[in-house]
A = this chain, B = another copy of it.
Amino acid sequence: MTTECRIAAIGKHVGEVVTVHGWVYNTRSSGKLHFVILRDGTGLLQCIISKNDVSDEVFLAASELTQESSVRVSGVVREDKRAPGGYEMHVHDLHVVQLAEDYPIKLKEHGVEFLMDNRHLWLRTPRQASIMRIRHTVVKACRDFLDDRGFLLVDAPILTPAACEGTTTLFETDYFGEKAYLSQSGQLYNEANAMAFGKVYCFGPTFRAEKSKTRRHLVEFWMVEPEIAFCNLEECMQLQEEMITYIVCSVLERNARDLETLERDTEALRRVVPPFPRISYDEAVELLRSKGMDFTWGEDFGAPDETVISQAFDKPVFVHHYPAQCKAFYMQPDPDRPELVLSADLLASEGYGEIIGGGQRIHDRVVLEQRMNEHALPEDPYRWYVDLRRYGSVPHSGFGLGIERTVAWICGTQHVREVIPYPRLLNRIYP
């Protein structure tokens, strides 16, 4: 029995005999030598099979290996600066678990629709694997950051009786005879939980049945949503910039090789440190107009607007104090200018646009009920939400960070469809 080892840890076994389980990424031969590059999900390893070192059967099997065949190889680990990953294996034994059929994804360019149809296989390629590893780090960093600061994870329900932000983009289902909807945000439940636990977050999938086909929109996406009792807008923004910095640092630290694979400009990421610039909505409108864009005060920013604003700064930028009309009903009005609300969005740098939406929530029952009336919201499903303003209401704030937009920005990928394992889009629910 030799030591089993994953490729990412192979450097700890130089000079030893180890066994690796993996799949064939690429092969080449030169007479008495076969070079097989293996992948195991943690990295790539060059294996050298020499006619002198192995049995005739093994040497023959090695010559017949096809792309993505599954194998078990044993051999001595050597350092080699030229090899992918910096190490190689001189193979003693090779066992073919399955000889793969002709693999559809070749080591060449394919069209996006073809790759998306084969997403279950596309994930095996180095670029996609690097994105998934960075996604893992981003999710873990969000949780670690919040857990370390005393936030309690309190899961919000997915099946809900009421809509949180508009009803036109909701997925509906039959719930034992009643209508139910898929959650677009855990926001409202978070507020109840913040009154119970002080600092909370939920982290789950959210759904928007939007007919948009842009590089920033997914039908199903993941969101982390912290909510804090006794917290105002400025404190909320401070938490956000700390959290974003922590996430970016975690990726720079743990995914250096993945960022290299993606050819990501890491200098731009290293600039992400607090404080982030803060501009008001009014200032953002002025900025757009100064860049020659035609923008009507009171409207929400579209993707092209966000790109222009975010390109004016070399760090993520907060845009705060939006007009009430572009934000959800629960946003706290600005006491000085009641046509504005105490909200802030965070736009990622390099033109990536909004990754966080957040702000301070209404804590006064009368103000809330007035807003709910203006939005023609039904009373019954929101009864519990109004209750929160009866029994120990306090100023509170929170935000929602979109995982896919954040990962796309950190990876420098153009389209969010690459940063979620199985993207759900307007015309795509397969695989």
Contact = CB atoms under 8 A, between A and B. Distances in A.
Contact of A120 (B123, B139, B182, B388): B388
A240 to B, nearest CB: 19
Contact of A98 (B174, B182, B393): B393
A381 B22 CA distance: 27
Interface string A122-163: 011000010011011001100100010010111111111100
A172 interface: yes
A47 B393 CA distance: 20
A168 interface: no
A145 to B, nearest CB: 13
Interface stretch (A190-198, A322-330, A337-345): A190-198
Contacts of A175: 171, 219, 429
Contacts of A155: 205, 222, 420-421
A209 interface: yes
A387 B120 contact: yes
A192 B23 CA distance: 13
Classify the interface of chain A: helix, strand, loop or mixed.
mixed
Nearest to A420: B155
Given A153-B140, A384-B430, A390 B101 contact: yes
Contact of A158 (B124, B220, B391): B220
A68 interface: yes
Nearest to A394: B70
Contacts of A120: 189, 192, 384-385, 387-388
A391 B41 contact: no
Contact of A392 (B100, B156, B193, B422): B100
Contacts of A178: 429
Contacts of A152: 41, 132-133, 136
Given A189-B422, A197-B129, A153 B139 contact: yes
Interface string A51-64: 00000000000000
Contact of A394 (B8, B97, B121, B171): B97
Given A175-B429, A195-B124, A230-B21, A392 B132 contact: no
Nearest to A199: B41
Given A132-B152, A157-B421, 7 more contacts: A23-B195, A41-B152, A41-B196, A97-B230, A97-B393, A121-B391, A189-B422
Interface of A: 6, 8, 21-24, 40-42, 68-70, 72, 97-98, 100-101, 103, 118-121, 123-124, 129, 132-133, 135-136, 139-140, 143, 147, 150, 152-161, 171-176, 178, 180, 182, 189, 192-193, 195-200, 204-205, 207, 209, 211, 219-220, 222, 229-230, 363, 381, 383-385, 387-388, 390-395, 420-422, 424, 426-427, 429-431
